[in-house]
Amino acid sequence: MESSIDNLHLNKQNSLIAQAGDLAQLVGPRGKNFIIRLAHAEKLHTHRGILDHDGLIGKPWGCQVYSHLNRSFMLLQPSLADILNDIRRSTQIMYPKDIGFILVTMGIGPGQNVLEAGTGSGAFTAALAYAVGKEGHVTTYEMRPEVQKLAQKNLAGIGLSDRVTFKLRNIEDGFDEQGIDALFLDLPNPYDYTSQVRAALKPGGFFGSILPTTNQVQRLLVALTRDNFAFLEVCDLMMRYYQVDPDRFRPVDRMVAHTGYLIFARPILMEVKPFEDEIAKISSDELSSKS
């Protein structure tokens, strides 16, 4: 499958009709959807009939198309969230609600050089590659060959491979890169690698991580403070959808609640006092105020 980003056409303003090489999303009446790359002489087989790609190429985005069984679909351009949710996975992927917040909080945008460790299925790698644009680059480290192969296939399938360098290696010995704008660890033990992170990031660069449990977060906070990271933040995000019926407008019964703790920090060039010193000072101040 061709990997040129020019074929992605995500929200491309001058692309009013579906073209060969585009990613297309076909959505049925009940919301079931299929994401395909349009190619001449190809067919999409669904439970609602077969759709010829040649019958879709040249159609305007947003129109209704029909299978050979005369079942209808809407022809749309997929959003990045649609693509990430559709990606083949062998590991748990991050939710779009977390991904978007991470990208904004870490200032990740066009032209930046970004590092990631813990490639997984490549969903977050794809989001990073999309965000840095043609002038930027993403380098991602993974230890498991079979997982890396799936991520490489996923990135090639959506046309982002040329923005990503895949490295099959443990980061214990450090990263090859230095002066990096932003670095994200999706690992169970990021606290073991804060010194390696600091060596790779430029001073004042952005660090981020995601963890499932509070004890992991606590260990990471101690490690970050020890290695002179500042502006530490921890948060989680919850997202709730609403019924779109004007007569029954209310929250839906299910929501995407806590999915992980997000941790952010920035390496600085001055010494950061350990937490225990700050705690001792607070306790001393409280005693003085009571006396």
Here the tokens at position 78 are: 């997929």
Residue range of the domain that includes 15: 5-78
Q: Are residues 73 and 124 in the same domain?
A: no
- Report residue 58's pLDDT band, with 50, 70 and 90 as the boundaries: very high
Q: Are residues 129 and 14 in the same domain?
A: no
* Radius of gyration of the chain from its Cα atoms, rounded to whole angstroms: 23
Q: Are residues 34 and 114 in the same domain?
A: no
In a domain, 290, yes or no: no
Instruction: Give CA–CA dist 226/276, Å, rounded.
Output: 11
* Secondary structure (3-state) at 149: helix
Residue 14: predicted pLDDT: 54
Average pLDDT over residues 59-77: 95
- pTM of the complete model: 0.82
Burial code of 50-86, b = ≥16 C-beta within 10 A, e = fewer? Answer: ebebeebbeeebeeebebeeebebebbbbebebbbbb
Instruction: Give CA–CA dist 186/276, Å, rounded.
Output: 27
Residue 9: predicted pLDDT: 45
- Report residue 256's pLDDT band, with 50, 70 and 90 as the boundaries: confident
| Tokens 């978007």 belong to residue | 100
pLDDT digits (tens, 9 = 90+) for 156-192: 999 999 999 999 999 999 999 999 999 999 999 999 9
CA distances from 248 to 38, 50, 256 (A): 39, 36, 21
Shortest CA distance to 206 belongs to which of 233, 187, 226?
A: 233
Q: Are residues 41 and 175 in the same domain?
A: no
> What are φ and ψ of residue 163, in 5° steps?
-100, 0
Q: Are residues 128 and 211 in the same domain?
A: yes
> Is a pLDDT exceeding 80 seen at residue 44?
yes
Residue 265: predicted pLDDT: 98
- Type and span of the H or E element at 167: strand 164-168
Average pLDDT over residues 192-203: 97
- C-alpha triplet 38, 42, 43: angle, nearest 5°: 100
pLDDT digits (tens, 9 = 90+) for 203-252: 999 999 999 999 999 999 999 999 999 999 999 999 999 999 999 999 99
Instruction: Give CA–CA dist 120/205, Å, rounded.
Output: 24
- Report residue 272's pLDDT band, with 50, 70 and 90 as the boundaries: low
Instruction: Give CA–CA dist 172/70, Å, rounded.
Output: 57
In a domain, 163, yes or no: yes
Least confident of 150-154, 158-162, 202-206, 252-256: 252-256
Looking up residue 179, the CATH number of its domain turns out to be 3.40.50.150
Least confident of 86-100, 236-250, 252-266: 86-100
Beta pairing, strands 72-76 & 23-27: antiparallel
In a domain, 289, yes or no: no
Q: Are residues 60 and 116 in the same domain?
A: no
- Among residues 45, 78, 111, which one ends one of the domains? 78
Tally of domains in the chain: 2
Average pLDDT over residues 255-259: 86
To the nearest whole percent, how much of the chain has pLDDT over 90? 79
Looking up residue 32, the CATH number of its domain turns out to be 3.10.330.20
Here the tokens at position 143 are: 């230890």
Residue 13: predicted pLDDT: 47
> Is a pLDDT exceeding 70 seen at residue 279?
no
In a domain, 285, yes or no: no
Instruction: Give CA–CA dist 23/10, Å, rounded.
Output: 8
Q: Are residues 138 and 198 in the same domain?
A: yes
Instruction: Give CA–CA dist 168/281, Å, rounded.
Output: 45
Shortest CA distance to 132 belongs to which of 111, 155, 102?
A: 111
Here the tokens at position 115 are: 């590092």
Q: 279 CB contacts (<8 Å, ≥6 apart)?
A: none
Average confidence score pLDDT of the chain: 89
Q: Are residues 102 and 242 in the same domain?
A: yes
> What are φ and ψ of residue 177, in 5° steps?
-90, 155
Least confident of 30-34, 107-111, 159-163: 30-34
Least confident of 8-12, 53-57, 195-199, 283-287: 8-12
